[in-house]
A = this chain, B = another copy of it.
């Protein structure tokens, strides 16, 4: 995959951020000089929610900036942690005096840079706390992490903590519900084909024409297993099986289900996977409260999918259902 719709790879993130803001000019704005998207009506009289990370995972994170979810999102270079000063700018822009919660995916660089930004903000008297999402059950440690990686489950943290903040909770309460989501959300992904970052000549990894990788990350980090291509149902069995046994999710549980496309996967294939996921969950007596099928946490044009389960209690159900202007989370 050599051809891309870009101008200059060095400017692709900035041009993308401009394009995001231009798609919703009444709601979003870009902080001058930084690849940071914030709500146009920031700051609000509520706890502010900020997330971010390397680019290439769109719509994550800027696509979740809006009422009921994030107040700001920082876009690092492709697959590269955002700088502490960009995160700091986002915090300053959205803080309305009630404090700011940072939602960080568990990658060493992200955690370090968000923590550094938090210290910078605290030195200016802004109350800041953070949570680290580590929902990927595939690996315990990886190329870029100590502990598990943060992947598609992050979207549920944005939604539920965002709704809690919108409802007027204080920073400790918003953090508490974010931590509850993190404890109850698990994901596993796989790839059929790799992606290529705009500045590189080669794909982030290679797979033979009859080979797939299970347990893959969202930057092409190695997964748990390379195997021959299998039927869609068998792949779903593998992924969802690993997810279910992790907490474990049990008969009688109510869950949110996310079938997440990695960027280059036809929707047709995601719906075929959703069919099988429903069969498995029904067999196990696990009740699907709400289903999300689409692209949420991508890896450029990587072909493949991830499956996420979030075990819900009454509070999380109410917050998941709370209004948001982010269409794909309605």
Q: Which residue of B lies closest to A272 (CB)?
A: B15
Number of copies: 2
- A291 pairs with B5, CB closer than 8 A: no
Could you mark each residue 224-264 of chain A with 1 if its beta carbon is under 8 Å from any beta carbon of chain B, else 0? 00000101110100000000000000000000000000011
A interface residues, tally (CB under 8 Å):
61
From B16, B271, B304, B328, give the contact of A20 (CB < 8 A): B271
CB of A277 to closest CB in B, whole Å: 8
- B330 pairs with A16, CB closer than 8 A: no
With A58-B271, A272-B12, A275-B18 known to touch, is A212 a contact of B327 (CB < 8 Å)? no
- A16 pairs with B272, CB closer than 8 A: yes
Q: How far is the CA of A303 from the CA of B192 in the complex (A)?
A: 16
Q: How far is the CA of A212 from the CA of B2 in the complex (A)?
A: 11
Q: How far is the CA of A305 from the CA of B4 in the complex (A)?
A: 11
Q: How far is the CA of A16 from the CA of B274 in the complex (A)?
A: 8
Within 8 A of B (CB), among A78-112: 78
From B22, B300, B303, give the contact of A274 (CB < 8 A): B22
Within 8 A of B (CB), among A246-303: 263-275, 278, 291, 293, 295, 298, 300-301, 303
- A271 pairs with B19, CB closer than 8 A: yes
Q: How far is the CA of A212 from the CA of B330 in the complex (A)?
A: 36
Within 8 A of B (CB), among A9-50: 12, 15-20, 22-24
Within 8 A of B (CB), among A109-158: none
- B3 pairs with A268, CB closer than 8 A: no
- A267 pairs with B3, CB closer than 8 A: no
Decide yes or no whether A217 CB sits under 8 A from chain B. Answer: no
Q: How far is the CA of A295 from the CA of B203 in the complex (A)?
A: 24
Decide yes or no whether A315 CB sits under 8 A from chain B. Answer: no
- B327 pairs with A272, CB closer than 8 A: no
Residue of A266, A269, A303 contacting most chain B CB atoms (<10 Å): A266
- Residues on A lying within 8 angstroms of B by beta carbon are 1-8, 12, 15-20, 22-24, 55-56, 58-59, 63, 78, 192-193, 195, 209-210, 212, 229, 231-233, 235, 263-275, 278, 291, 293, 295, 298, 300-301, 303-305, 327-328, 330
Rank and list the top 4 A-B pairs by shortest CB-CB distance, nearest first: A19-B271, A58-B267, A5-B269, A19-B275
26 contacts between A and B (CB under 8 A): A1-B193, A2-B210, A3-B193, A3-B303, A5-B265, A5-B305, A6-B231, A6-B269, A7-B272, A16-B268, A16-B275, A18-B271, A18-B275, A19-B270, A19-B274, A22-B275, A23-B293, A56-B268, A58-B267, A263-B264, A263-B266, A265-B301, A266-B300, A268-B300, A295-B295, A327-B330
